[in-house]
Chains A and B, each alone.
Chain A
Amino acid sequence: MNVTLSINGRYHTLDIDPRTSLLDACRDHLALTGSKKGCDHGQCGACTMLVNGRRINSCLTLAVMHENDTITTVEGLGTAENLHPMQAAFVEHDGYQCGYCTPGQIVSAVGMLGEIGDGWPSHVTKDIKTGTELSGDEIRERMSGNLCRCSAYPNIVDAIETAAGKTKEPA
């Protein structure tokens, strides 16, 4: 069936099987291969995209459900010449090894900062009435859905802190 998706500021009309996941639509039909397929079960976070600014595991959602949504993939955040601050911070802090989880980590981190900004509490939030503040604990808790088998976590967390405006010198 036909579906029109707004991805990274452009409209794409696709003729796809209605069972196609948003991830497969991007990877297999739009040559947007930045988002990775680590598990295809919503358990690793490698496929994280932003839908209307909120992070989502794109392997767990059907493309046809997103006709009227605004979708952002890692390619839409920034380009090599013009990196998003989060991408630049990951480069600065070496927030990767093999890089397979990286696009998901970065998109997830951008979405996560949005959630904190909007005052969404998490499991480790001390007082849900006074709102959430950005701490290492909060970042680690909120990023725990993005697996990194290379365990580049220390640098990932440092990069996110840098991007969030908490200056931290790279190690």
Chain B
Amino acid sequence: MDETRIQDRSGAGEPSIAELGERPPTHERAIKGGVHTKRIHDSGVKHVSGAARYVDDEPELPGTLQIYIAMSEKAHARIVSLDVSKVRDVPGVACVLTANDIPGQNDYSPVFGDDPIFPQTSGPEALVQYVGQPIFAVAAETIDLARRAAKLAIVEYEELPAAITIEQALAAAGEAGHDLLDPHEMRIGDVDAALEGAPHRVLGRVAVGGQDHFYLEGQIAYSIPLEDGDVLVRSSTQHPSEVQHNVAKMLGVPDHAVTVEVRRMGGGFGGKESQPALFAAVTALAAVKTGRPVKCRLDRDDDMEMTGKRHEVTINYAVGFSGNGRIAAGDFSHLVRCGYSRDLSAAIADRAMFHADNAYSLPAARILSRRLKTHTVSNTAFRGFGGPQGMVGIERVMDRIAFETGIDPLDVRKVNLYPSFDSDRAPGVTPYHMPVTDSIIAELVEELEVTSGYRARREAIRQFNAQSPVLKKGLALTPVKFGISFTTSHLNQAGALVHVYKDGSVHLNHGGTEMGQGLFVKVAQVVAEEFQIDIEKVKITATTTAKVPNTSATAASSGSDLNGMAAQAAARTIKNRLIDYACGRYHVPEEQVVFAANRVLIGNEEKRFADLVGEAYLARISLSSTGFYATPDIHYDRESASGQPFYYFAYGAACSEVVIDMLTGEYKLLRADILHDCGTSLNPAIDRGQIEGGFIQGMGWLTMEELWWDDKGRLKTHAPSTYKIPTANDRPDDLRIAIWEKGENRSDTIYRSKAVGEPPFMLAISVFSALTDAVIAAGDGKAFPDLDAPATPERVLKAVEGVRG
């Protein structure tokens, strides 16, 4: 690191440039860690040495209190009385918090105002609506003490009828006369006429289960009281601005009184988008009340019982198609299990609808979505944000059409794909009336078909199945087309803050949060590229609402797209100031100031970047700037269910081969081939990790991760002992991943890259389809199985029994 050469010299006169100790620049060909390089994760060495700090690893301040949150034992009940006096009396308990202690609004919801932090203790709103709902909190010297003290509370409930399953929710909605949120419908073409006129028609239904986030670092918040009643909250959150706002509104103070900071999360996956506000609010309240720092770190079981999950969806479909498998019309209805409150369910259910077509051009389509209330935890964002559920519907339809027509499922898929952007066919139009003008899916599928050896393997599997009495294999190649942008248009904005210090080192901050997806290193690559300096010169710093305000959640895969652009804008502003300065000082035209690797060419001269910066500082040039970006050209009119909600689409395809055991239902993924489009990848190493991780997590969702509530609404799968996520053993023996080499974003994104956080998740639908294929083989192709997700061995066995009659 260079010494700081410019000291304060008050009274000592101005240093001349000659006195700065300039050194000649070095002459590397390229900087280290520019864009499109396989730069390792910025925290890599810290991760492996245990030095990377998560919220729970920050040293606790003296006097820190620990919070335990007591939870409802009933799915739906009136609270007749809540007596916490005994809890208060326990020595070591600093305070007990109920709804009565909240000075501002008793709500931590993102939009609709229907997520009480604690239920009221009397009156009509003294209501609990799921088992696990927070009812009060205890702050004590130790967590153990807090937990034991909480058990002394006396809660009297008067139970009310509860809807736990989708069927019960439908019945309850019928009685109430409304759903949790109004239904929404998208429509293109004359569906009824097209269904009527189609040569073939089928009806069916597929149920798709939820998924627990199981971020390895559970929910956590640490609040430190400041002067003036302000608070600093360290929160494991994907959405610091929303946590800030929710804490402020709970305390009844302006947003400026609350600062939220997050360096990194131990996984988020959507589970830390709206939910961390609860834990932040509870700790902030206790901190303000007691004047002491307060931590709330959820126990794993409590976390799984208390927090929302991926939405469970039942999809009913009716499709009309011709003899070659081409769809004439598709009619889909989604029954979405939202849980007790609205949370983000409207946008999530919308996104399921936006992906009901997946990569297929439907001449006529109707998608109806009903958002149902159950007395279970409020379901929330999860990687894909409803998109995966929507896609499972149409992929099931593809398998079904293949079964009905006897055509290979891949060929059915191929005749229905959206036309390529460069084909002579008119672009397909989505059910929300957006022309798909950047489709490359046909070419990508074609390429994977060849590289995966699909046809030969199909034949080999046919022969294997013909002579194998107990084991049956299945194969499927499925595409993904995923829309990139928040479908709530105003969220598509981001800010960044860049400082260049006078020694040439750079401080980078932006509104995006790091949860392992490699956002920080990607944005740092963009800034290093812009200034043409080695990435080590760019310091990545914790996200904080004090530096960049009013940010959107790091979600919708949009992190690098939005924050990369904002950081680039900030860096460009400073760079332009440096160029202006150099032009004036050295009397050269603008085009003669060129930033090369770690140096700047000014006419015939060359300087180190740091030296130019030092000079500019003395010349009183501002070396700090904010940057801002708003995605152009997007809009969606909910009224008419039409518009251009996405800036572009990301594409991919996967081919999976499975083998099932007909006697036990057990199965194994033997091989998976993936071809994914990352545009021009900003960082192929990071993107590859996202593809692998997304695929395996998606496979977990569709095959092994089963959420199971009993009839009292108690989640019985609330720990890794009962809720099985993929282990090292579940990845396929043969996993071949390729980033599509021809990838280039047709939209003007940061270095023409594409978002990669969510799209690969849905590549796992190929595993679900391959299982369906294997079950069909188990029944000798005589019947189509009603296989629901997750396709656990138990369900596969049932499906096998079903098709064998």
Contact = CB atoms under 8 A, between A and B. Distances in A.
Interface string A84-113: 000110110011111111110010000000
B720 A44 contact: yes
A88 to B, nearest CB: 8
Contacts of B396: none
A36 B53 CA distance: 10
Contacts of A87: 48-49
A150 interface: yes
A53 interface: no
Contacts of B696: 151, 153
B50 A103 contact: yes
A93 B381 CA distance: 30
A64 interface: no
A136 B214 CA distance: 26
A146 B728 contact: yes
Nearest to B269: A149
A18 B517 CA distance: 40
B266 A152 contact: no
B798 interface: no
A166 interface: no
Nearest to A123: B729
A40 B144 CA distance: 13
A121 interface: no
A95 B264 CA distance: 17
Contacts of B686: 94
Contacts of B689: 94, 97, 150, 152, 155
Contacts, number: 186
A133 interface: no
B728 A139 contact: yes
B48 A83 contact: yes
A140 B59 contact: no
Interface stretch (B38-46, B563-571, B592-600): B38-46
Contact of B267 (A78, A149, A171): A149
Interface string B260-273: 00001111110000
A162 interface: no
Contacts of A34: 49-51
Contact of A147 (B49, B217, B727): B727
A98 B720 contact: no
Nearest to B303: A39
Contacts of A102: 47-48
* Interface size class, chain B: 35 or more
A146 B54 CA distance: 19
A158 to B, nearest CB: 11
B50 A44 contact: no
Given A144-B729, A156-B728, A79 B721 contact: no
Interface residues of A, number: 60
A136 B726 CA distance: 16
Given A98-B266, A103-B50, A36 B216 contact: yes
A35 interface: yes
B216 A98 contact: yes
A111 to B, nearest CB: 15
Contacts of B697: 149-151
Contacts of A146: 727-728
Nearest to B518: A97
Contact of A91 (B44, B301, B733): B44
29 contacts: A36-B216, A38-B218, A41-B301, A73-B50, A74-B48, A75-B49, A77-B49, A79-B49, A80-B46, A80-B51, A90-B44, A91-B44, A91-B48, A94-B44, A96-B41, A97-B267, A99-B47, A99-B52, A101-B216, A103-B47, A143-B727, A144-B729, A147-B725, A148-B728, A151-B695, A151-B697, A151-B700, A154-B692, A171-B688
Which 5 A-B pairs rank lowest in CB-CB distance, beginning with the nearest? Answer: A34-B50, A98-B516, A100-B266, A99-B47, A97-B516
Interface of B: 40-41, 43-54, 56-57, 59, 213-218, 264-269, 299-301, 515-518, 685-686, 688-690, 692-697, 700, 719-721, 725-729, 731, 733, 735, 737
Given A94-B40, A150-B697, 19 more contacts: A27-B56, A33-B57, A35-B50, A40-B299, A40-B300, A44-B300, A74-B48, A75-B51, A83-B45, A87-B48, A87-B49, A97-B517, A97-B693, A99-B266, A100-B267, A147-B720, A149-B213, A151-B700, A151-B726
